Structure 1
Amino acid sequence: MGVKGFVEGGIASIVAGCSTHPLDLIKVRMQLQGEAAAAVPPQPALRPALAFHAGGHTVALPHHHDIPAPPRKPGPVAVGAQILRSEGAAALFSGVSATMLRQTLYSTTRMGLYDILKTKWTQENGGVLPLHRKIAAGLVAGGVGAAVGNPADVAMVRMQADGRLPLAERRNYRSVGDAIGRMARDEGVRSLWRGSSLTVNRAMIVTASQLATYDQAKEAILARRGPGADGLATHVAASFTAGIVAAAASNPVDVVKTRMMNMKVAPGAPPPYAGAVDCALKTVRSEGPMALYKGFIPTVMRQGPFTVVLFVTLEQVRKVFKGVEF
C-alpha cells in the first residue's frame, strides 16, 4: 500500500510539473524583479521646478512631481513575451530536467508519505480524518519531501533564472546533473541545501494547504451531491480551490526562497543575504511589503493548473492501479 502511494503520486507530480513548467519559470523571473535594487536603495534626483528671487539670490524649490516614479514592473504576459523575444521558445523550458528530478524526489516523497499517514490515521480514527489531522500529515510529508529534493530545487531555480543575466554572468548549466555537480565542486556540497530551511517551510505550507484543502473540498462536494459526483468536475473544482489556497499561503516564503537560492556569492565577499530573515527584511525595506507577493499572479496561474493536473492525473492513475498491490 505504501509503495503504491509513492508511485501514483510520483507519476501525477511529474506530469503536472512538466506541463506547467513555463508558468513556474515566469513566476521565478518575476520574483527576482527589482532584486538588484535591494543592495543599493535608489536615490531620486530632484529637479528644480519653481524659483524665486530673494535678497539678490535665486532660491529653487523642488516640486513633488519632479521625483521620478519607479518604472512599472512587467506582468506575467509581458515577462513571457520578453523571454520568447530575447531567448526563444525553448527558454520557457529552461531547467525542465531539474523540474523532473525535483518532482521525482520531492513530490513523490511528499505524496507517498501523506498517503501513508492519512491511511494510518484514518484507520486509527474510525474511518474519519478531521481537517487538523490532514494538515498535520501535510506538514510532515512536505517537510521530509523538501529536505530530500532541495538540491534539485536549487538547480531548477538557477537554471530558470539564468536567462535574465548578462551573457558574461550566466552559469550556463547543461543539465540538472551538470548544475548539481558544479555547485558541489565550486561552492561546496552545503550549497546544494542553500535555502533548505525556506524550502522545507514552503513545502510544509504548500503540502498542508494543498493536499488537506483538496481532500476537504472533495469530501464536502461528495457529502452534498452524493458518491455519484466523484468525477472530473468534482476533481477539478476541489483541486483548483486547493491551488489558490496553497498559492496564497506560500508566496512570501517562495519569494525569499527564490532569492536565497539564486544569489551569487563572490569568493571572500559576504553574501548578499545573511539568511532568510535578512533577505525578507532587505526585500521589504527596498521594495515594500508587497514585494513578498511578487509573482503572485503567475503563482496562482501556475499553482492552479498544476494542482488541477496533479489531482486529476492522480485520480486517473489510481483507477489504472486499482486492485494492483505493490
Structure 2
Amino acid sequence: MSESKSKAEPPPSQKQMPNALKFFFGGLAGICGAIIVQPFDVVKTRMQVSVTSSGKNEFNSSFHCAQTIFASEGVLGLYRGLSAAILRQATYTTTRLGIYTYLNGQYEKTYESKPTVLASMLIGVVAGSIGAMVGTPTEVALIRMQADGRLPPAERRNYTNVFNALSRVIKEEGVASLYRGCFPTTVRAAIVNVSQLASYTQFKMFFNKQLNMPDGFKVQFASSMLSGLLTTLTSMPMDMAKTRIQSMKIVDGKAEYSGSLDVLLKVVRKEGVFAPWKGITPYFLRLGQHTIYTLLFLEQFTRMYYKYVLGDDKRTGL
C-alpha cells in the first residue's frame, strides 16, 4: 500500500505551491517591506505635495523634510498612515505579486522555459493594472493620511486609521472619491511592475546565464537593487501626478487638476523640468528599498515553502 502510494506521489521537484499561497506570500512580503520603509514614504509624499501657492518648495531637501516632521509631529509623524500602508499591501501587493507569480508559473509550465523579455513585460502590465484597481481606495487613504500633517490644524482631515478614512471618504465625498486618481495609479502600477518584476526576472536570468552565477541570495540582492533603481526612475513622474490628484482639495466645486497630464504640465511649468522627480531620494529609499525587501522576502518565503513543506532542496526561490 505504502509502496504504491509513494509511486503515485510526484517527486518534490514536480510539486507546486498552491496558487492561494502565492497570493498570501506576495502580500506578506509587501507588508514586511512597507513597515520598514514607511518613514521614507511619508517624506516622499510630503515632498511631492510641499509647494506653496507661489510655487516655492516648503523643504530644502528630504533631510529637511524629515527633520521638520520629526520636530513638529514626533517619531509617530514619520509613521503616519501605517495602517493604510499595511492594508494597501494586503490588497494591491497581494494581488499584483500573486498574479505575477501565477502567470509566471503558467508560462514556464506551458513553454518549459523562463519568460522572455516581452512576456515578462506583458505579465507585469496585467498584474500591476489589476492590483492597482483593487488597491486604489487604500492608496487614496494612505496619501491623505501621510499629507495631513502639513495642513493647517483647521484644514486637517484627522483620520484616526485607514478604516475611519475609507468610511469618511464614502460618507463625505461619495464612493467614487475612493477611486480618485485611479488612472494614474493604474498607469504607475503598470510601469512599476514592468520595471520592477519584469526587470527582476531578466536581471536574474542575466546573472544566471551570462555571468554563470547560480541563483541565490547574492544574485537575488543584486537583481533587486538594479530593479529598484530602474523602477524609481521610470515611475516617479506618474507617482507625482497620482499623489497630487489624490491629495488635492475641491474648492468651490472646482478641482485643482483635471488629470495626470494637467498635473505634470502645471508642475513642469511652475516648478521646473525636474520637478516630477522631486523627492527622488526618499522615493528611491522608499520604492527602491521596498522593491529589494519585498522581492527578497518573497524569494525566501518561496524557498522555505519548497524546502520545508514540499521537500525540494533544489528550488532557490521564485
Q: Residues 128 and 315 (structure 1 numbering): CA distance in 2 closer, same or farther, change over 3 Å? A: closer
Which runs of no fewer than 5 residues in structure 1 stay unpaired? 39-69
The answer to whether the aligner puts 1:203 opposite 2:189 as a matched pair is: yes
Q: Is 1:277 matched with 2:294?
A: no
Q: Following the alignment from structure 2 to structure 1, what is the Cα–Cα distance between the partners of residues 215 and 112?
A: 22
Pick the aligned partner of 2:47 from 11, 27, 30: 30
Q: Structure 2: which amino acid aligns with 1:3?
A: A
Q: 1:230 & 1:35 partners in 2: Cα distance?
A: 49
Aligned equivalents of 2:58, 2:99: Cα separation in 1: 43
- Name the SS for the 1:145 alignment partner: helix
Structure 1 residues 6-26: Cα deviation after superposition (integer angstroms, max 9, x where no partner): 111111111011110111111
Distance (whole Å) between structure 2 residues aligned to residue 36 and residue 257 of structure 1: 19
Are the equivalent residues in 1 in contact too, given 2:184–2:242 (CA < 8 A)? yes
Q: How does 1:230-269 map to 2 (within 5 A)?
A: 230-266=215-251, 268-269=252-253
Conserved in 2, the CA contact under 8 Å of 1:35 and 1:283?
no
Query: What do you get for the CA RMSD once the two structures are aligned?
Result: 1.6
Q: TM-score, normalised by structure 2?
A: 0.88
Question: TM-score if structure 1 supplies the norm length?
Answer: 0.86
Is 1:21 matched with 2:7?
no
The structure-2 alpha-carbon separation of the partners of 1:81 and 1:190, relative to structure 1 and needing over 3 Å to count, comes to same
Distance in structure 2 (CA, Å) of the matches to 1:320 and 1:165: 46
Indicate which of 147, 165, 187 corresponds to 2:173.
187
Q: Letter of the 1:307 partner, please give it.
A: T
Give runs of aligned pairs for residues 25-174 of structure 1, distance below 5 A: 25-34=42-51, 36-37=53-54, 73-174=59-160
What SS does structure 2 have at the residue aligned with 1:17?
helix
Residues 219-263 of structure 1 show CA distances to partners (whole Å, capped at 9, x for unaligned) of 111224546x32222111110100011111100000010000000
Which protein is bigger by CA-based radius of gyration?
1
Q: How many Å separate the matches in 2 of 1:269 and 1:129?
A: 48
Instruction: Measure how far apart 1:303 and its partner are.
Output: 1.7
Whether contact under 8 Å (2:23, 2:95) holds in the other structure is yes
Contact map agreement 2:51 2:57 (CA 8 A) in 1: no
Separation in 1, partners of 2:114, 2:151: 51
The Cα shift of 1:319 comes to 2.0
Q: Distance in 2 between matches of 1:302 and 1:252?
A: 15
Task: Specify the code of the residue in structure 2 equivalent to 1:242.
Answer: S
Task: Return the letter of the residue paired with 1:215.
Answer: T
Task: Give the conservation status (yes or no) of the 8 Å contact 2:25–2:298.
Answer: yes
SS in 2 for 1:174: coil
Deviation at 1:122?
2.5
Check whether the contact 2:95–2:130 (CA below 8 A) recurs between aligned residues: yes
Residue type of the alignment partner of 1:139 = V
Q: CA deviation at 1:299?
A: 1.1
- Partner residue of 2:297? 313
Sequence identity of aligned pairs in percent? Answer: 38
2:280 is aligned with 1:296: yes
- For residue 313 of structure 1, report the CA deviation from its aligned partner: 0.8
Please tell me the residue identity of whatever aligns with 2:247.
Answer: N
Amino acid of the residue matched to residue 76 of structure 1?
A: S
Conserved? CA contact 1:97–1:175, under 8 Å: yes
- 1:117-152 deviation digits (Å, cap 9, x = unpaired): 111122333323111100100000000000000000
Equivalent residue letter for 1:272: E
- Contact kept? 2:140, 2:180, Cα under 8 Å: yes
SS of alignment partner, residue 128 of structure 1: coil
CA contact (8 A) 2:59 2:65 kept: no
Aligned 1:207-222 pairs, distance under 5 A: 207-222=193-208
Pick closer, same or farther for the CA change 1:72–1:105 going to 2, 3 Å: closer
Partner residue in 2 for 1:41: none
Q: CA deviation at 1:206?
A: 0.2
Which residue number in structure 1 is paired with residue 316 of structure 2? none
Instruction: Supply the distance in 2 between the matched residues of 1:140 and 1:73 (Cα, whole angstroms).
Output: 37
Aligned length: 292
Q: Deviations over 1:186-216 (max 9, x none)?
A: 0110000000001000001001110011111
- Long gaps (5+) in structure 2: 1-17, 311-318
Secondary structure of 2:127's partner? helix
Distance in 1 of aligned mates of 2:278 and 2:133:
25
Say which SS state the counterpart of residue 20 (structure 1) adopts. Answer: helix
Cα separation, 2, equivalents of 1:18 and 1:278 = 33
The one-letter code sitting in structure 2 at the alignment partner of 1:236 is F
